[in-house]
Each structure stands twice: as C-alpha cells, then as structure tokens.
C-alpha cells in the first residue's frame, strides 16, 4: 500500500454497489430464490440449484506457501482473480470463508480482501453478516446445555463425566476460557465437571455446516454427532441427547450461502469457515454447488498454506462434494520467501524488520524450498499449479525474478499479481495463466482411499504432504485410534490440527525441513462432520489476544460510522 492510497474501509465505503438481485441474476439465480438482508446482502436458497442448471465453471483453488504471521494476501488474490477473469471477458464467481470475530478484533483484522480487491459491504462481512456464526454458537451451546441438563436430571444414558467431549464455543479470542470448571454453586446449579471452550470456527457444527450437501444431510450429521461416552465406553450422540432436531432448526437458514459482491461487482459467496490449522478451513460445499453453476470460473480459497488448507480441500471437501479442481493458484510473496530463509523473525502487530525490506535475492532464493514443496503438494493431488507472486511496494524486481525463475524450473506458470492497488486489471496476467492451466486437464486424485487405516492415513499426510520422516503417536493417541477403529470409524478421512507457519508441527522449522518426526499427542473424533482430528504439537482450538488487539482501535464515531476496522 502506498502512503497516498486510501484505507480499505475508505475504498469500500466509496464504492457504488450493484443491487444484489442483479448480482444474483448474473449467476442465473431467479429473484425469488434470494432472501434479502438489506440491499447489499442476500442468502441463496438451495432450491436455486434447480433453476441454475448443471455445473459449468472451471474450478480453481487458491492456496499458498506457509504464511508469515502477517498473511500473504491470499483472500485479496482470490477476489482479484475473480475480477481479473471478467477483464478477459469470462464470467466468474468467488467463494470465500466467512471471517471470524476472533481475528477481526485480534491481530489479523478482517478477511474481506484488501485495497481494490475487496468484498463489499466490508463492515457487514467482517462483523455479523447474516448471523451464521451466531447460529452455530447458539446450536453448539444448546447441545452443551442439554448435555448438562441430562446429567442433572439423572443421567439415564450413563455418560461418564470425564468422557464428555462436547465443549462450548464463542466467536472471540479468549484464552481464559480454554479450560474451566462448571456447575459450581448449589445443588440446583448443575453437576460440577471440568470442560472448556473453543472458538466458534473450530466447532464441529461449523465443519458440519461447511460439509453438508443439503438440509437432509445436515440433519443426519447433527444426529450422529458424538458428545461423549457412557460407562461401557459406547459413544453417546446428539440424537440420544435429543438435541439434534433443535440444532437443525437453529441452523436451517445458516445452511444457505451468503451472496455479496466484489468492488467490481463480481458475485462473491461467503459461507462458513475459517482456521485451517484447527478446522477444515474451507468455505461451504453448498456455496460451491451454487458458484460452479454461476459462471465460467469458480474461484475458491482454502486457509493458510497448501499443507493444511489445500490438503483438507482435496481430501475432505472434494471427497464430500464430489467436485474436482481444474487448477490451483499457489500464492507467495517476497517477504514470505525471506522469512523461510530462517534469517528473520516476524511477529503479528509489529513492524517488519528493516533488513527484511532491503533488496536481497540470496535470502529470497534460500526460502524458495518452501515454494517448491507446496507446488509438490498440489501436483501430488494431480492438479496443475500456477504461482502468483503477490506484489508489495517494498519488493524489488530482482526478488520477483528469483521466484519466477524457481517457478520456471519447476515447470509451472507464474504471474505477478497486483490486486491490492489495481484490482482486476492487476490480475489479468494471472487470470490468463490460470485459464491456460485449467485447459491442461485435471487428473485429480485423493491422497488416500477410505479403507486405509487411520494410522496409515495420518502417516501418509505427514510423509507425503508435510515431508516428515515419520509419525510418533503418544500412548493416549494410540489408545484413541484403536478405539475409533473398533467403533467402525476407520474409514473416515483425517483433519489434522497443526501450526500453519511451518510444514512441520514446529513453527520455528521454516523452509522445507527434513528428518523431523510429527508428534501426535491426541486424536479427537468428529463423527457428525465425518472426520478424525489428530492434534500435532501444541496447537490450541481457542486463540488468545495479543498485547495490542485490534479491538483497542475499533470504535464508532458520532455519525454512527465504524472506525478502525481493517
């Protein structure tokens, strides 16, 4: 961003949005299939699929190298690419994850893109939007309340207090809620027990909402959600607690994707997510079902790097949706490559080190091992990658040339991308390269079959995606995996929870480390969502706030305008 360039919020407010029914019409969605939330946001009813016809779009994934704590502009690239296709005369749609209030009020800020490649209305997208996150929070915590009420009313299902796995959620970063004791007070205040809270985006219900293919599938997934185990070690479900029906009622409208638009009027479907490090980190299947019928290209984004978000896109989302990608964009930056040289420490909320901004082609080259590895992850799944070099004002042309040289050595297309300052016009070269890659023909394949054991699936991800030498399972994890196989859950896919900053479990291991072993300390079962969740390293499912969170700067002025949102 240059000093003379207005802020993201100023750019968004200066835009003149198209009527949302016109945006829907571009996709072939009849006006009676759009539920309006004001004039700029709509929810798309799932019966719109009948009116839209069969899938026709090329399906393009946007992923990235392992990011720095500042992020590398992946959402901005995804939005800009969808705009760029329109400059080539192609119709396009972008599907994005809905931002969580946790990072919005934490360090990272919002997730509507940036500069001249944003989704608008920016304030609504980054705050409550249509209330989907609140619906997930309410449904999740209703089930938690029903569980504790079941205990209080006599515990007919013989739930073991220490084997209750369902936790409450809230959509803010609050480390004090990670582990706590509830039910304190008088006998009328419930049964005391240890439990904890996760952030809403990490709720199994968010994963269910994102992976459900229709309302019937949503209801079935809610019913088979496991909340704990009885004294015979048998799983107890939300259906048995008699909470699945009420949860479905709270989530039925949240299943409908949200329709917004980019600054250039391109349709943007924003639904479910985010956090690929602790969840599956992708937007919803139903949004993609709508988007793939609505243009020549559907651009979708997976969280963080290809090791977490893209791997889960390929092996969780595509497995459930039946859709296959035609190409994948791997976003990288000069600063990310320099950080992966191992010479620089970058922390969220702090200025970049001055040495990082100086011209240094050797440091860029030293970090490109990480880029090469991520290209390999995409190709391992039979998808053609394209490198997007996201341009920042502090970059030097010689540094871009190093990344371009690596892309050519790897035999993949590349393009400079300038979505922030130039919008779709700055993305035409990338759009053209992606169209060419999509024309190559995808040979998409899953990383592992359903009938591989859970141990083998985890090991395949660790070795073939992360580059680990092997996996070390703690005794607790071994017991859990054995029990899950015994219960008949061995055919489920894997949703790994690990740091996003490294290919490994250790955020300090940068570049493309070799010879390390992935430690799996615990394995959780998300049966409603339909996956097994191993936890590697010290990853947590409830973030904390930093010393100077964004919430300190967000306010409202005397005219009622939000200030400080980024």
Are 511 and 467 in contact, with CB atoms under 8 Å apart? Answer: no
Instruction: Please state, for a pLDDT cut of 70, what percent of the chain lies above it.
Output: 98
For the ranges 97-101, 199-203, 490-494, the one whose mean pLDDT is highest = 490-494
Q: List CB contacts of 370: < 8 A, sequence separation 6 or more.
A: 65, 66, 336, 337, 340, 503, 510, 511, 512
Residue 3's pLDDT is 56
Residue 529 has pLDDT above 60, yes or no: yes
**Considering only 140-154, 254-268, 370-384, 528-542, which range has the smallest mean pLDDT?**
528-542
CA 204 – CA 20 distance, rounded (Å): 31
Residue 527 has pLDDT above 90, yes or no: yes
Give me 120's structure tokens. Answer: 């608008």
For the chain, domains (ranges, CATH) are 8-127+257-439 (3.40.50.300), 132-251 (3.30.1510.10), 455-492+498-536 (3.10.410.10)
33 DSSP assignment? G
Residue 357 has pLDDT above 60, yes or no: yes
Give yes or no for a cis peptide into 274 (omega within 30° of 0). yes
Residue 392 has pLDDT above 80, yes or no: yes
CA 451 – CA 160 distance, rounded (Å): 31
Closest CA to 369 of 60, 42, 65: 65
CA 557 – CA 564 distance, rounded (Å): 10
CA-only gyration radius of the chain, Å: 23
pLDDT digit string (tens) for 219-264? 999 999 999 999 999 999 999 999 999 999 999 999 999 999 999 9
Classify residue 429 by burial, with Cβ atoms within 10 Å: 0-12, 13-18, 19+. middle
* Backbone phi and psi for residue 212, each to the nearest 5 degrees, phi listed first: -65, 140
Residue 47 has pLDDT above 90, yes or no: yes
300: part of which helix (H) or strand (E)? strand 297-301
pLDDT digit string (tens) for 286-307? 999 999 999 999 999 998 999 9
- 106 — pLDDT class (breaks 50, 70, 90): confident
Closest CA to 497 of 281, 323, 183: 281
Closest CA to 241 of 144, 121, 317, 382: 144
Tell me how many degrees the CA angle 376-269-315 measures, rounded to the nearest 5.
30
Averaged pLDDT score across all residues of the chain:
93
Classify residue 485 by burial, with Cβ atoms within 10 Å: 0-12, 13-18, 19+. middle
CA 66 – CA 372 distance, rounded (Å): 11
550 DSSP assignment? G
Residue 281's pLDDT is 86
pLDDT digit string (tens) for 201-216? 999 999 999 999 999 9
- 109 — pLDDT class (breaks 50, 70, 90): low
Residue 539 has pLDDT above 80, yes or no: no
Closest CA to 507 of 339, 372, 368: 339
């Amino acid at each position: 961003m240059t000093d003379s360039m207005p802020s993201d919020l100023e750019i968004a407010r200066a835009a003149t949005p198209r009527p949302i029914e016109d945006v829907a019409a571009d996709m072939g969605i009849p006006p009676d299939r759009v539920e309006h939330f004001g004039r700029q946001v709509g929810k798309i009813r799932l019966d719109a699929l009948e009116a839209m016809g069969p899938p026709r779009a090329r399906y393009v994934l946007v992923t990235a190298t392992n990011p720095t704590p500042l992020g590398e502009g992946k959402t901005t690239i995804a939005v800009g690419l969808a705009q760029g296709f329109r400059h080539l005369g192609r119709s396009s749609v972008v599907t994005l994850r809905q931002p969580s209030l946790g990072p919005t009020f934490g360090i990272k800020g919002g997730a509507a893109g940036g500069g001249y490649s944003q989704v608008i209305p920016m304030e609504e997208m980054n705050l409550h939007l249509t209330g989907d996150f609140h619906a997930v929070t309410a449904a999740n915590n209703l089930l938690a309340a029903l569980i504790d009420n079941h205990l209080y009313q006599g515990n007919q299902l013989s739930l073991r207090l220490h084997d209750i796995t369902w936790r409450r959620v809230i959509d803010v970063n609050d480390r004090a809620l990670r582990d706590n004791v509830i039910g304190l007070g008088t006998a009328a205040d419930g049964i005391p027990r240890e439990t904890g809270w996760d952030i809403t985006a990490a709720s199994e219900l968010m994963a269910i909402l994102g992976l459900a293919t229709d309302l019937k599938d949503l209801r079935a997934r809610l019913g088979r959600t496991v909340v704990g185990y009885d004294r015979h070690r048998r799983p107890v479900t939300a259906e048995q607690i008699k909470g699945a029906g009420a949860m479905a009622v709270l989530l039925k409208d949240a299943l409908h994707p949200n329709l917004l638009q980019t600054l250039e009027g391109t349709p943007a479907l924003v639904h479910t997510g985010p956090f690929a490090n602790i969840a599956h980190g992708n937007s919803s299947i139903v949004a993609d079902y709508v988007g793939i019928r609505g243009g020549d290209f559907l651009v979708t984004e997976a969280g963080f790097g290809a090791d977490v978000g893209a791997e889960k896109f390929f092996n969780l989302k595509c497995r459930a949706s039946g859709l296959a990608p035609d190409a994948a964009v791997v976003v990288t930056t000069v600063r990310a490559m320099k950080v992966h040289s191992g010479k620089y420490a970058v922390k969220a909320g702090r200025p970049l080190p001055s040495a990082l901004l100086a011209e240094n082609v050797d440091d860029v080259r030293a970090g490109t091992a990480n880029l090469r590895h991520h290209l390999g992850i995409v190709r391992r799944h039979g998808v053609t990658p394209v490198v997007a070099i996201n341009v920042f004002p502090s970059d030097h042309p010689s540094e871009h040339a190093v990344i371009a040289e690596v892309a050519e050595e790897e035999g993949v297309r590349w393009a400079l991308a300038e979505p922030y300052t130039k919008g779709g016009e700055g993305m035409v070269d990338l759009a053209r390269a992606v169209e060419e890659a999509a024309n190559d023909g995808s040979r998409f394949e899953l990383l592992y079959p359903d009938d591989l054991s859970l141990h083998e699936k985890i090991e395949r991800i660790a070795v073939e995606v992360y580059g680990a030498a092997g996996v070390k399972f703690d005794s607790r994890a071994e017991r859990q995996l054995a029990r899950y196989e015994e219960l008949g859950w061995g055919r489920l896919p894997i949703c790994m929870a690990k740091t996003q900053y490294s290919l490994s479990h250790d955020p300090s291991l940068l570049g493309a480390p070799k010879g390390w072993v992935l430690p799996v300390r615990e394995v959780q079962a998300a049966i409603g969502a339909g996956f097994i969740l191993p936890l590697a390293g010290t990853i947590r499912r409830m973030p904390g706030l930093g010393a100077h969170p964004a919430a300190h700067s967000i306010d409202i002025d005397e005219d009622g305008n939000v200030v400080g949102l980024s």
